[in-house]
Structure 1
């Protein structure tokens, strides 16, 4: 029971070995928060649709993403802004057109599992 934090040590424990394995599996709170944040980005159907489109079709512009997903341009732009801030996608300017692509390797792997 060496992994049980002191503030939880007085609680009833049935299987100390498994409790330690569970604590080890959970890992650091910061890592859990990072995963939760990633999953929250994917939990929105609009953002997930955008990410799936970008993953499968490659770099796309806002207007093309709007047509592909059935969203309007402002909603696509807003979702992409959030995904850019989270460093999940990047926009690459080609003349007057900005095309977006997924760059987060973990999100890419999750998208591969979905498709």
Structure 2
């Protein structure tokens, strides 16, 4: 099975992994994976980061179609874009949890 080909350029995949390579962004995604929707101030509180930092991270994640938002009056609610994002996080966690010796 070939994972990367013309349909999924390596550059796009690498850009996604770079985006996910930030601990704050991963904490945000993990928080959103465990709930339906949250506002910026709720996310900031849960990941122990400033609202400014969370807002900047969410902007990047939204641009990359990793999260989506919904406006409700003055509040903007964020959630994971789809189940592929949740599966990607779960796969990474499963890979890390099985341990094993590095070659």
TM-score, normalised via structure 2 length: 0.78
The structure with higher relative contact order (CA 8 Å, sep 6+) is 2
TM-align CA RMSD? 2.1
Q: Confirm whether residue 45 of structure 1 aligns to residue 26 of structure 2.
A: no
Q: Confirm whether residue 61 of structure 1 aligns to residue 23 of structure 2.
A: no
> Which consecutive residues of structure 1, in runs of 5 or more, have no partner in the other structure?
1-20
Once the two structures are TM-superposed, the CA of residue 89 in structure 1 deviates from its matched residue by 0.9
Residue of 60, 83, 86 corresponding to 1:82:
60
Which structure dedicates a bigger proportion of its chain to helix? Answer: 1
Once the two structures are TM-superposed, the CA of residue 31 in structure 1 deviates from its matched residue by 2.0
Please give the secondary structure, in 1, of the residue aligned with 2:9: helix
Runs of 4+ with >3 A deviation = none
Residue of 54, 72, 75 corresponding to 1:97:
75
Q: Deviations over 1:56-81 (max 9, x none)?
A: 12211000000000000000000001
> Which consecutive residues of structure 2, in runs of 5 or more, have no partner in the other structure?
95-103
- State the structure with more CA Rg: 1
Residue correspondences, number: 93
